[in-house]
Amino acid sequence: MSAPSLVSTRNLEFRFGARPVLRGLNLDLHRGESLAVFGSNGAGKTTLLRILATLLRPTGGEAFLDEVPLSARAQRSHLRRRIGFLSHQSMLYERLTARQNLHFYARMYGVDNRARRCAELLEMVELGGREDDPVEEFSKGMQQRLALARALVHDPELVLLDEPFSGLDPRASSRLGTLLQDLPRRGKAVLFTSHHLEMGLGVAHRVAILSGGSFAFDSPRESTSLEGLVAAYASLAGRGA
C-alpha cells in the first residue's frame, strides 16, 4: 500500500463570479515528491496555489493536508505553519534589511535558533554580505531570492511556489533548480508553477498541464520528453487552454 498523500484535492472547484476557473480538479502529492504545473495565463495555476495555501476557499470540492480539510477554520493557524508559500507578491518589507525581514517572519512562526536559521537561508539564496542592506535597494531577482528564503524560514512540509524562476538570471535559476531538487530529498512536498517547460521538467518528479480547470496532462518525469511536453502544451493552448 502506498503512503497517504501529504496534500490532495477532490473535485476541487473555484469560480470568479460566473466564470469557472477550476473544475473537478483532483491532485495527490506525497512527501518527497515535486510537481511542476504548467498552463497558459488564466488557466488557474495561481488560484490553485492560493487554495492550497489556505488564502482562498474553494467554491466546490475540498483540499486536504494530511487528510485535514484546508478550509477548517479551527485548524487554519496550525495548517499554515506547515506550508511555505511564494506568491507574485514578495511579502517583504522594503525599508527593512534582508536579515530583519527574515527575523520578523521567523519570530512570527516561532522558529527556534532564529539567528542561525536566518543566516543559513541568506547564504543558501546567495545574499550573504547583503543581509544588512534594505530590501528597497535590491534588484527584482535579489528580492525574489529573499522571498524564497522567507517562504522556507519555518522549514515547512509543503512548499508552494508561484513562478519562482521569474526575475532570476541564469545563475540564480540554476541555483533554484538545485534547491527544488534538494527539498524533496529532505522529505518536503513541492508544487511550483512555471512557464519554463525545460526547467520544470528538469527538476520536478512530475509535470502537469492545467487546462479547462483540471489537469489535462499529468506524467512522471521519466516518462516525459521535452518534445512531448512542448507538443502537449501547444495542443492544449491551441484549444484555448
pLDDT for 239 equals 59
The contacts of residue 99 (CB under 8 Å, 6+ apart) are 118, 122, 131, 132
pLDDT for 183 equals 93
What is the pLDDT confidence band of residue 69, given thresholds at 50, 70 and 90? Answer: very high
pLDDT for 73 equals 79
pLDDT for 2 equals 61
The lowest-confidence range among 100-104, 169-173, 179-183, 226-230 is 169-173
Q: What is the DSSP string of 188-223?
A: -EEEEE-S-HHHHHHH-SEEEEEETTEEEEEEEGGG
Q: DSSP 3-state assignment of 234?
A: helix
Task: Check: pTM over 0.85? Answer yes or no.
Answer: yes
Rounded CA separation 221/42 (Å) = 25
What would the pLDDT profile of 125-155 be if each residue is shown by its tens digit? 999 999 999 999 999 889 999 999 999 999 9
What's the average model confidence in pLDDT over 161-170? 88
Residue 1 has pLDDT above 80, yes or no: no
pLDDT for 34 equals 97
pLDDT for 173 equals 87
Of the candidates 236, 183, 197, the one whose C-alpha atom is nearest the C-alpha of residue 32 is 183
What would the pLDDT profile of 196-206 be if each residue is shown by its tens digit? 999 999 999 99
What's the average model confidence in pLDDT over 205-231? 93
Rounded CA separation 162/87 (Å) = 5
Residue 238 has pLDDT above 70, yes or no: no
What's the average model confidence in pLDDT over 108-132? 94
Residue 39 has pLDDT above 50, yes or no: yes
What's the average model confidence in pLDDT over 85-93? 93
What's the average model confidence in pLDDT over 84-91? 92
The rounded Cα 160 to chain-centroid distance in angstroms is 2
What is the pLDDT confidence band of residue 240, given thresholds at 50, 70 and 90? Answer: very low
pLDDT for 97 equals 97
What's the average model confidence in pLDDT over 158-166? 94
pLDDT for 131 equals 96
Phi and psi at residue 59, to the nearest 5°: -90, -5
Percent of the chain at pLDDT > 90 equals 76
Rounded CA separation 22/15 (Å) = 7
pLDDT for 60 equals 96
DSSP label of 113? S
